[in-house]
Amino acid sequence: MEVFEAIKKRRSVREYRPEPVPEESLKKILEAGRLAPSAHNAQSWKFIVVKDARKRKKLAEAANGQSFVGEAPVIIIAVSLDPEHIMGGGVPAFAVDLAIAMDHMTLKAVEEGLGTCWVGAFSQEKVKEILKIPKKYKVVILLPLGYPADSPGQKSRKSFKEIVSFEKFK
């Protein structure tokens, strides 16, 4: 599958079939994240893979009760190991680094026939407690992963002209 095709096919999946994610597919998805660029090539992150049904249910509760999070057979949790690092432009490095890594994973998941959904609405404290994550780190994204049970349609997007300008802001 070409990258642009995966970009166009990617959807936020909120209904998953119960069958497990093949280990080979999971490894490829995690490898796609591992290969992502990061500030200073530091890769200041950890990806936690959760398959245990009880932990997935607890994570769904920590995600403001979004049940679909726990219904996915796998949840990948992205954790920043250096949440204090600010890049020269004034932007937190973890936000950029993990957005790139997780996007690599979402696109690889599409290629593998799997679905994902970025989940940023969750209790930092509850997720850390469930997964025994030290306080000094920051949970950035929960990424449910599995075979889609629904077929979400393509969301509308703003036109090219509305979001792109050349040479200056307009």
Give the count of domains, the chain. Answer: 1
**104 dihedral zone (left: phi>0; alpha: psi -120 to 50; beta):** alpha
Name residue, tokens 């690599």. 104
> Does any domain span residue 131?
yes
Predicted pLDDT at 51: 98
pLDDT of residue 13: 94
The predicted pLDDT at position 32 comes to 98
* Cβ-Cβ contacts under 8 Å for 121 (sequence gap 6 or more): 63, 64, 66
Amino acid at 45: W
Q: What is the pLDDT along the chain (170 residues), one digit of tens a residue?
A: 899 999 899 999 999 999 999 999 999 999 999 999 999 999 999 999 999 999 999 999 999 999 999 999 999 999 999 999 999 999 999 999 999 999 999 999 999 999 999 999 999 999 999 999 999 999 999 999 999 998 767 778 899 999 999 999 98
| Owning domain of residue 62 | 3-149
What is the predicted pLDDT for the residue at 66? 96
Count of alpha carbons within 13 Å of 117, Cβ hemisphere only? 23
Contact criterion met (CB below 8 Å) for 68 and 14: yes
Do the domain assignments include residue 161?
no
Is 111 a domain residue? yes
154 assigned to some structural domain: no
Q: Is residue 99 domain-resident?
A: yes
| Residue 53 counted as domain residue | yes
Residue 104's CATH number: 3.40.109.10
Per-residue confidence (pLDDT) for residue 1, from 0 to 100:
84
